[in-house]
Amino acid sequence: MSTATSSTFTPKSMPSALTFDLHAKCSTTKARASTLHLPHGSVPLPIFMPVATQASLKGLTYDQLKETGCMLCLNNTYHLGLKPGQEVLDLVGGAHKLQGWDRNILTDSGGFQMVSLLKLATVTEEGVRFLSPHDGTPMLLTPEHSISLQNSIGSDIIMQLDDVIVTTSPDRARMQEAMERSVRWLDRCIDAHRYPERQNLFCIIQGGLDLELRRKCCEEMVARDTPGIAIGGLSGGEAKAEYCKVVDTCTGLLPDNKPRYVMGVGYPEDLVVSVALGADMFDCVWPTRTARFGAAITPNGVLNLRNTTYANDFSPIQEGCKCPCCRPKSEGGLGITKAWCHHLAAKETVGAHLITMHNVQYQLSLMASIRQAIIEDRYPGFIRKFFDDYYGTRFKAPEWAVDALRGVNVDLFAE
C-alpha cells in the first residue's frame, strides 16, 4: 500500500465520546447484543437508523419519531452543507437545535452524494471536485471540509470522507486506489476533527467485492483506533451472496469492543442475515421511500396497499403493531385500517404519512426483537420463524440467505 502498514503506523491518540457495552453473543452465529452510549442518550444495538436526509424524516414529525423509540437517526452532510449551509448551522448551534431533536444524530461524509448524484464529479487525492447543483460553480469537498461541516452539524457520530466506487466495477486497480486513498483520507479526517470529545469519528472500510482488499483495509483502519467502524461501498447492485461474503469477512477482522455499521442496508431479510454475520448498525431510506408508494412492511412481507385487494379490508396494517396507525383507538392509537390506507395512498399525502409511521415502527420493533432473541440465546430459532412468516415458509427463502446463514452455523431448513 502507498500508506504506512499497520505494523509501522502509530495511531494518533483520539478521545472517544462513546461507551460500548457488549452484553451478549449468540452461541451459534456471530450476532451481538450491546448498548452504545452517546452524548444524546443510549442506543440499544443491533439498531436500524431511519434517514432524515435534510434534517427531516419524510412523513413524520420528530415527536412522532420519538414515539417509535428511535434514539439515533441520520442526517445528510451534503444536503445540510448546501442548505441551510455551514454559516446557519454555526449560528443556530448545530443540527440538533435546528430540527428540535434531542436524541442522537449520525451524519455521512457527503462523498457518496458527490459521486452518485453529480454526473461531473471527479475524485483526486485532494478531494471530490464537482459543480454546484445550484449555480454551476466549481466546488471541492476535501476530508478537512467534510469534517468541518460535520463539526458544525454537531452530530454524535460523524463519518470519514471515503473514496466510493460502485461494487460492480471491474477495475481492480481503481478499487485498490480507492481503498488506499480512503485510508489516507481517514488520517486527514482525524487531524481535522476539532471535537473528538463530543463527536465520534467512524472509519469506513472499502475494497469493493475483493476480499483481499477488504482484509488489507480492515488492518489499516483498525490500526487507526476510531471509536466505531463502518463497512461501506455495499448495496450498490452487487449480488447478495457477494455482499454477505464481504460483511462476514470484515466482521471477522474487527475488534469486539467497537460498534460495526453496515451502510445502506434496510430490507428486513438483509437485517436479519447481517446481524447473524456480526453487524450492529444499519440505515436505509427504503422503509420511508416505499411508504410513499403505498407499501407497508409487515412480518408477513410487504403489502402494496394501493392494490384493490385492500379496498374492503378493515383490519389494521399489522395486528398487534404498536404504531399509532395500527393501534386501536381504545389503546390511544388512530385505529387506521388497510381500506383507509388504500383510499388515501393513491390520493392523499396523509396516506404516505400513516404508512411511514408504521414502517419505521416495524423496522425498530424488528431490531428490538432481534436483540432480545440474541440476549436469550435463541437467535437461530428467531431466524427460522422470521423466514417462515416473511416468505410464507422458510423453504422459499432466497438462496443467498440460506447459504450465508449456513456459513454461521444456521441450517434454515432444520426443525
pTM of the model: 0.95
Rounded to whole angstroms, how far apart are CA atoms 290 and 366?
Answer: 17
Contacts of 187 (CB under 8 A, 6+ apart): 3, 224
Beta carbons of 271 and 254 less than 8 angstroms apart = no
Q: Which of 156, 248, 280, 283 is catalytic?
A: 283
- Residue 347: predicted pLDDT: 74
Cell, residue 197: 470529545
Residue 50 preceded by cis peptide, ω within 30: no
Q: Is 323 annotated as a binding residue?
A: yes
Q: Which of 21, 102, 108, 411 is catalytic?
A: 108
User: In the chain, where does the domain assigned CATH 3.20.20.105 lie?
Assistant: 19-284
- Residue 116: predicted pLDDT: 66
Helix (H) or strand (E) holding 217: helix 211-224
Beta bridge partners of 199: none
Q: Is 191 annotated as a binding residue?
A: no
User: 280 phi and psi, to 5 degrees?
Assistant: -115, -30
User: Helix, strand, coil proportions of the chain in percent (round to 5)?
Assistant: 40, 15, 40
Helix (H) or strand (E) holding 21: strand 19-25
Beta carbons of 397 and 382 less than 8 angstroms apart = no
Q: Is 112 annotated as a binding residue?
A: yes
pLDDT in tens, 226-283: 999 999 999 888 999 999 999 999 999 999 999 999 999 999 999 999 999 999 999 9
Q: Is 23 annotated as a binding residue?
A: no
375: closest CA among 22, 99, 13, 133?
Answer: 22
Q: Is 228 annotated as a binding residue?
A: no
232: closest CA among 120, 116, 119, 117?
Answer: 116
Q: Is 111 annotated as a binding residue?
A: yes
Q: Is 321 annotated as a binding residue?
A: yes
246: Cα separation from own chain's centroid: 16
226: closest CA among 266, 265, 182?
Answer: 182
Rg (CA), the chain: 21
Rounded to whole angstroms, how far apart are CA atoms 358 and 362?
Answer: 6
**pLDDT < 70 stretches in the chain:** 1-13, 114-119
Q: Is 90 annotated as a binding residue?
A: no
Q: Is 63 annotated as a binding residue?
A: no
Helix (H) or strand (E) holding 200: strand 200-205
Q: Which residue is associated with the grid cell 449468540?
A: 26
Rounded to whole angstroms, how far apart are CA atoms 300 and 291?
Answer: 16
Active site residue 283: yes
Cell, residue 139: 466546488
Overall fold of domain 19-284? TIM Barrel (3.20.20)
Q: Is 358 annotated as a binding residue?
A: yes
